[in-house]
Structure 1
Amino acid sequence: MTNTTTTTTTTTTTTRRLIVLDMAGTTVADGGLVERAFARAADRLGVEPGTPDHAEKLRYVRDTMGESKISVFRHLFGTEERAQLANSAFEQAYAELVDGGLVSEVPGARAAIEELRADGHTVALTTGFARVTQDAILDALGWRDLADLTLCPADAGGRGRPYPDMVLAAFLRTGAVADVRETVVAGDTAYDMLSGRRAGAGVVAGVLTGAHDRATLTGHGATHVLDSVAELPALLPESS
């Protein structure tokens, strides 16, 4: 009688994901440049530093981090003409600060993106800034070819966060996954979390390197909260 031993080999398949990452505060450290650029824009429109009006407007800018900047200025300055003037001044000021070498990657961000893509995931970088500012940041960091796709609000119909439009645009444009639940959204603001949840993403990860704290991120729908985007590659196998 012959004994036959059968060996079964189990192959583990990693789920391919679409990864939608915010820039400033999540993958990019800008050291508070949004507030500095806002101060310059506000000054151009006659909002004096130290006044209650200036303090109120700055508080709104902080509370709406992650939102399309033109939407913020429409709220703050009322008319479309003044909003566009403020937005142009803001974008110019931010670009000048970027050109001055005042942006850097969040430690480990580039390596995390490279690891995610090497593992077969598709990565999109999104922002609430205009395209000209997004491109200035990408150029300053040498990130033009780092991600599969970059999107600003104008690339997704004009509405930024907390609308789901940029996440859904990434889903449609890349065709990387068949189900929106295979999308991962990561960001540092409440609006990032709302955008991800409204888009139907399966993982909505808040990171603690930017504007909002753990309680705020969780309260606006984060499924996970990470110290940094550098931890994201390790999270994905656990969430498959």
Structure 2
Amino acid sequence: MVELAVLDMAGTTVADDGLVEAAFLEAVAGRSDVDEMLVHVRATMGESKITVFRHLFGGDEDAAQAANLRFEVAYAGHLGAVTAIPGAAETITALRSAGVKVALTTGFSRPTADAILSALDWTGLADLSLVPAEAGRGRPFPDLVLTAVLRLGATDLRQVVTCGDTTYDVLTGLRAGAGTVTAVTTGAHDATALSAAGAHHVLSSVTALPSLVL
């Protein structure tokens, strides 16, 4: 019996119609190396956003923090583009009704995560939501999954399932030792990349998760 499902937000349970890239472009507008930066952003989708900006700005903490703030403001300013992946809310409800605890995780800050949950009327939908600052480190480190395990009282990592749309989501699940690491093709990376990253199962949507694990 699966005890805990750790689900990514943007691209997995939440659709934002490319808003991450659009907000990033606003955050670094005017720079001559935007195209090179965008390549890195696409490759590291799922990683903590501040970590991405630290890399892009060569460790300049002030510049990274300022860019991250611009990114968060830009993203929050377009929350009207954020919608639920069709059937995602029902999937979370079905898992919880079957006795599975559900944690939603994201690379965004807490204010942005809360704004997304509020915009979707998802506050309280899952048992827990987590952002990198609350876990220690973001993806691809295992901290988000392991923090969910601790906070929700899961007893066996073999009974934990993770689900995300990026290779970093897959790597996080594998590093955490989750018994079932799944990926979906509704977000940033395609089935080939997700399989190559080591996903145990690649699904067309998070809605296929209950029939797989219950």
TM-score normalized by structure 2? 0.98
Which of 48, 55, 59 pairs up with 1:68?
48
Which of 83, 92, 96 pairs up with 2:73?
92
CA–CA separation in structure 1 for the residues paired with 2:189 and 2:177: 22
Q: Measure how far apart 1:149 and its partner are.
A: 0.3
CA–CA separation in structure 2 for the residues paired with 1:17 and 1:192: 19
Look up the match of 1:54: 34
- Structure 1, unpaired ranges of 5+: 1-14
CA–CA separation in structure 1 for the residues paired with 2:188 and 2:117: 20
CA–CA separation in structure 2 for the residues paired with 1:88 and 1:178: 37
Which of 51, 58, 62 pairs up with 1:81?
62
Amino acid in structure 2 at the alignment position of 1:234? S
For residues 1-240 of structure 1, the aligned pairs below 5 Å read 15-43=1-29, 46-47=30-31, 51=32, 53-78=33-58, 79-98=60-79, 101-157=80-136, 159-175=137-153, 177-237=154-214
Cα displacement string for residues 109-141 of structure 1 (whole angstroms, at most 9, x for unaligned residues)? 001000000011000000001111100100000
Q: Measure how far apart 1:105 and its partner are.
A: 0.4
Cα displacement string for residues 72-94 of structure 1 (whole angstroms, at most 9, x for unaligned residues)? 00000120010000000000000
Runs of 4+ residues over 4 Å off in structure 1: none
Equivalent residue pairs, number: 213
- Partner SS state of residue 65, structure 1: coil
- Structure 2, unpaired ranges of 5+: none
Could you tell me whether the CA contact under 8 Å between 2:145 and 2:176 is conserved in 1?
A: yes
CA–CA separation in structure 2 for the residues paired with 1:181 and 1:28: 26
- Partner SS state of residue 129, structure 2: strand
Look up the match of 1:7: none
CA–CA separation in structure 1 for the residues paired with 2:132 and 2:165: 17
Q: Measure how far apart 1:16 and its partner are.
A: 3.8
Amino acid in structure 2 at the alignment position of 1:148? D
Cα displacement string for residues 43-62 of structure 1 (whole angstroms, at most 9, x for unaligned residues)? 1xx41xxx5x1110011111
Q: For the pair shown, which has the larger CA radius of gyration, 1 or 2?
A: 1
CA–CA separation in structure 1 for the residues paired with 2:207 and 2:3: 17
- Point out which structure has higher relative CO (alpha carbons under 8 A, 6+ apart): 2
Q: Measure how far apart 1:148 and its partner are.
A: 0.1
